[in-house]
């Protein structure tokens, strides 16, 4: 998926944030303010639904790819921890991180770091993978400026809510070998355009947290 297209959107506008814990996505409050739909090929549908007694964001993709984007301007030294929860109905068996044809995932959460020049933008792409070992990472087949991290892997937890926590400040330093610039935004995507598959995912609230 062309992550640089997502990154370009973040470079066009930013919103300052200043709180000890920052709510990026408050889906439990049925709030989608600030999130922008960006289609790439076809359209993944995103809608607020009730699931297990709470309001969450449902994504359904059928041979399609589009994302929801929330622009921010955040010093990730001050807010290094990203927290979210998600649930999927199944992983994508045709996943192949080595090829563009296999670059699909049932659930993704991106963090994007814009830079002065568009082609120098960086992104970390946290995914629920089918085949990548859990906690492994690899460059996107589209660009080495985007690193894919398998936060979950396989079908063992399919159908259950899973809570995640990543230190995006430390992840960036480890994966790119430098201090991160300002965090420019967060994106969600469920995509199946390359594998010609179908997937449903659910996303809970997303937060940035101080150390």
Place of tokens 């649930």: 87
Would you give per-residue pLDDT tens digits along the chain (211 residues)? Answer: 454 444 444 443 443 444 489 999 999 999 999 999 987 888 999 999 999 999 999 999 999 999 999 999 999 999 999 999 999 999 999 999 999 999 999 999 999 999 776 667 899 999 999 999 999 999 999 999 999 999 999 999 999 999 999 999 999 999 999 999 999 999 999 999 999 999 999 999 999 999 8
Nearest Cα residue to 104 out of 88, 135, 127: 127
Please state, in angstroms and rounded to a whole number, the distance separating the CA atoms of residues 30 and 12: 26
pLDDT at residue 146, as a whole number = 95
Q: What confidence score (pLDDT) does residue 144 get?
A: 92
Res 11: pLDDT: 43
Supply the pLDDT for residue 13.
41
* pLDDT at 38 (0 to 100): 82
Pairing of strands 183-191, 54-62: unpaired
Q: Compute CA 50 distance to the chain's CA centroid, rounded to the nearest angstrom.
A: 21
Q: Residue 71: name the closest of 186, 201, 198, 200 by CA.
A: 186
Structure tokens at 22: 């920052």
Residue 18, both tokens? 């200043």
Query: How confident is the model at residue 47, as a pLDDT?
Result: 97
Domains observed in the chain: 3-209 (2.60.120.430)
Which pLDDT belongs to residue 8? 43
């Amino acid at each position: 998926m062309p992550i640089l297209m997502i990154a370009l959107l973040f470079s066009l506008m930013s919103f300052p944030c200043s709180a000890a814990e920052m709510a990026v996505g408050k889906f439990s409050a049925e709030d989608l303010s600030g999130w922008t739909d960006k289609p790439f090929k076809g359209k993944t549908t995103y809608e607020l639904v009730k699931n297990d007694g709470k309001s969450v964001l449902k994504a359904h993709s059928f041979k399609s790819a589009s994302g929801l984007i929330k622009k921010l301007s955040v010093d990730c030294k001050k807010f290094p921890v990203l927290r979210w929860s998600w649930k999927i109905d199944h992983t994508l068996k045709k996943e192949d991180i080595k090829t563009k044809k296999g670059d699909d995932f049932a659930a993704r959460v991106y963090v994007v770091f814009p830079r002065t020049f568009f082609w120098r933008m960086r992104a970390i792409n946290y995914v629920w993978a089918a085949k990548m070992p859990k906690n492994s990472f690899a460059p996107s087949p589209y660009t080495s400026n985007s690193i894919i991290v398998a936060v979950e892997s396989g079908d063992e937890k399919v159908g259950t809510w899973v809570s995640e926590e990543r230190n995006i400040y430390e992840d960036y330093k480890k994966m790119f070998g430098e201090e991160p610039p300002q965090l420019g935004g967060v994106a969600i995507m469920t995509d199946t355009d390359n594998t010609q598959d179908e997937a449903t995912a659910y996303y809970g609230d997303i937060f940035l947290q101080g150390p």
